[in-house]
Amino acid sequence: MARKPPAFDPFGALQALDRHRVTYITIGGFARVIQGTEEVTRGLDIVPSTRPENLRRLDAALREIGAERADGKGLALEDAVAGQPTIDLITDHGEVKIVPTPAGTRGYDDLRRAANREPLGRGVRPSVASIGDLARMISALGNEQQLGELRQLRRLVELERGRTRAIER
């Protein structure tokens, strides 16, 4: 039986990923909060590069933060990423989800083109999926419970476009 997740500490998890030089894009609720939505999240969702060396670095970072799979299976990321849509983990810093290919995308290489590095403090600057890509992922899921988040993202896109037009004038 998997342990209960401790309080969410995104800095601890992100710092471990940085220490091990893991290449990833932050997605999900935490990424939407960084981009400006008003919601609460309890975990960190990432899309790692699935290159073998990066998966080895990710595995080392996850072991450092005491990651265990929520389903009780072994960590073995190289095998898991090939067949799992999502790998749910419990870590010393809260919930972490590994999502090799999020709905509506082709994975890391697709998302990295529009991702931005966002300074969060404490030396942490994760790559965060763009507002458009976050909206694309929610739309592809077709989850009616996330319509509020989708509306917020679309509003952020409109605000960004308005700001860009004002700068161009």
User: Which domains are delineated in the chain?
Assistant: 10-168 (3.30.460.40)
Phi, psi of 68 (to 5 degrees): -135, 140
First and final C-alpha spacing in the chain:
59
Low-confidence ranges of the chain (pLDDT < 50): none
At 60-81, the pLDDT tens digits run 999 999 999 988 888 777 766 7
For residue 53, the 8-state DSSP code is H
Report the pLDDT value the prediction gives residue 9, as an integer from 0 to 100.
Answer: 94
Report the pLDDT value the prediction gives residue 144, as an integer from 0 to 100.
Answer: 64
Half-sphere exposure (Cβ direction) of 52: Cα atoms closer than 13 Å: 0
Report the pLDDT value the prediction gives residue 141, as an integer from 0 to 100.
Answer: 78
Q: Which of 56, 46, 29 lies closest to 86, judged by CA?
A: 46
Report the pLDDT value the prediction gives residue 51, as an integer from 0 to 100.
Answer: 93
Report the pLDDT value the prediction gives residue 166, as an integer from 0 to 100.
Answer: 62
Q: pTM of the full predicted structure?
A: 0.83
Q: Are 126 and 118 in contact (CB under 8 A)?
A: yes
Report the pLDDT value the prediction gives residue 80, as an integer from 0 to 100.
Answer: 62
Report the pLDDT value the prediction gives residue 169, as an integer from 0 to 100.
Answer: 62
